[in-house]
Amino acid sequence: METNVLEVHNLRTSFYTDDGEVKAVDGVSFTLPKGKTLGIVGESGSGKSITALSILQLLASNGKIIDGEIRFKGENLIGYSDRKMRDIRGNAISMIFQEPMTSLNPVFTIGQQISESLIKHQKLSKRDALLKSVDLLKLVGIPSPEARVRNYPYELSGGMRQRVMIAMALACDPEILIADEPTTALDVTIQAQILQLIKELQHRLGMSVVFITHDLGVVAETCDYVAVMYAGQVVEYSDVFTIFKEPKHPYTIGLLNSLPRHDMEQDKLEPIRGNVPNVRDMPIGCRFSPRCPAATDLCRAELPELSKDDKGNDVRCWIYSDNWDGEMEVNVYGEKRIAQGRGVKAVFSD
């Protein structure tokens, strides 16, 4: 039986602006088993990064966690003091931020920046911390690490800066590594190298990983479980095989159908119609209902809960409830399937 190292339940995070409250994360729930990789996917603005920043409580001054639980090894991090969270960040839970050039301090050397967490969390001397920084740079595949520790960020390429960010995140042997779009702005070859590096380090160190991305190709290659987010909520959570083989939520199906596939002839891609709703003006019912091909009056009137389907996977959709009496015909990878409710928990069939 898998042990969950992280459990997020009903997380709600809001930002308070001059125009009122913005509910950036609204009832997010998922689990991360020990030693496994969870992918959090969705369009830009779906709340992926804010979910990660909420876990580490690194929100802007106008942001606040309103409700929910963030359990790390059984302990709820919500309510921890700033001092206790500083002991967690960069130590037990580390994060690779989205843009390495803006995340690295331009006036400090690479060695100084890696050494900082080693001195704070592991109480190493400056000399020992610098020696370990060299070892970490070697671990992430940076050549001539003895020289690179004296370099400044502007002296490194984008791929090397990203490797430095990984080295910083791994400095204290974290139990959870959160990678927020770790391959953004990198060319395809470097992307593959970074992803392979993270996978190798995960297996070597036994840590759990959270991948935040909009790239389903990355998810298919690296993740064990997937949480699909839309408009601040998780709409589907399952193992990666089920997500790609038998997607349930119409939004997940739309994401998959909008991807080009090398093993299928495609005259044109099928984009999801419409636009992501404004966070200040969410639909009354299901947030995907204005774009959903199967939306009924029930979908437009009431917001569905995240609940189990007939196979035990989480899905937020009225289709998979006893209350839905519609029928949805969809194409999944070119195959027509029927989803129907009315007490049968919406079975897909060819």
Q: What is the pLDDT of residues 262-301, one digit of tens each?
A: 665 656 677 888 888 888 888 999 999 999 888 888 899 9
Q: Is residue 61 part of a domain?
A: yes
Same-domain pairing of 121 and 189: yes
Q: Name the pLDDT band for 344 (thresholds 50, 70, 90).
A: very low
- The top-scoring range by mean pLDDT among 56-70, 206-220, 282-296, 333-347 is 56-70
Residue 280: per-residue pLDDT: 83
Q: Is residue 234 part of a domain?
A: no
What's CA 168's distance to the chain center, in Å? 20
Q: Is residue 311 part of a domain?
A: yes
Residue linked to tokens 């920043």:
53
- In angstroms, the CA 252 to CA 41 distance is 10
Mean pLDDT, the chain, whole residue set = 86
* Rounded mean pLDDT, 194-203: 86
Residue 101: per-residue pLDDT: 66
Q: Which domain holds residue 77?
A: 4-227
Same-domain pairing of 218 and 252: no
CATH number of the structural domain spanning residue 154? 3.40.50.300
* Rounded mean pLDDT, 154-164: 88
* Rounded mean pLDDT, 26-37: 94
Same-domain pairing of 221 and 296: no
Residue 349: per-residue pLDDT: 43
Same-domain pairing of 290 and 167: no
Provide the whole-model pTM.
0.88
Q: Is residue 143 part of a domain?
A: yes
Same-domain pairing of 44 and 163: yes
241 has pLDDT over 60: yes
Same-domain pairing of 190 and 105: yes
Same-domain pairing of 220 and 258: no
Same-domain pairing of 175 and 269: no
Helix or strand holding residue 327 (H, E): strand 327-332
CB–CB of 287/270 below 8 Å? no
Q: Is residue 236 part of a domain?
A: no
Q: Is residue 202 part of a domain?
A: yes
Quickly list H helices, 82-235.
82-88, 100-103, 110-121, 126-139, 145-148, 158-170, 188-205, 216-222
Same-domain pairing of 206 and 265: no
- In angstroms, the CA 83 to CA 272 distance is 44
Residue 221: per-residue pLDDT: 87
Same-domain pairing of 133 and 88: yes
* Rounded mean pLDDT, 308-326: 79
Residue linked to tokens 């969410």:
282
Same-domain pairing of 41 and 186: yes
253 has pLDDT over 60: yes
Residue 178: φ, ψ to 5°: -100, 120
- Residue 260's identity, in one-letter code, is P
Q: Name the pLDDT band for 348 (thresholds 50, 70, 90).
A: very low
Q: Is residue 122 part of a domain?
A: yes
Token code pair at residue 254: 């739309």
- In angstroms, the CA 292 to CA 274 distance is 9
Per the structure, the count of domains in the chain is: 2
Determine what percent of the chain is predicted with pLDDT higher than 90: 49
Same-domain pairing of 119 and 158: yes
Residue linked to tokens 């990878």:
333
- Residue 348's identity, in one-letter code, is F
Q: Is residue 50 part of a domain?
A: yes
- In angstroms, the CA 4 to CA 33 distance is 4
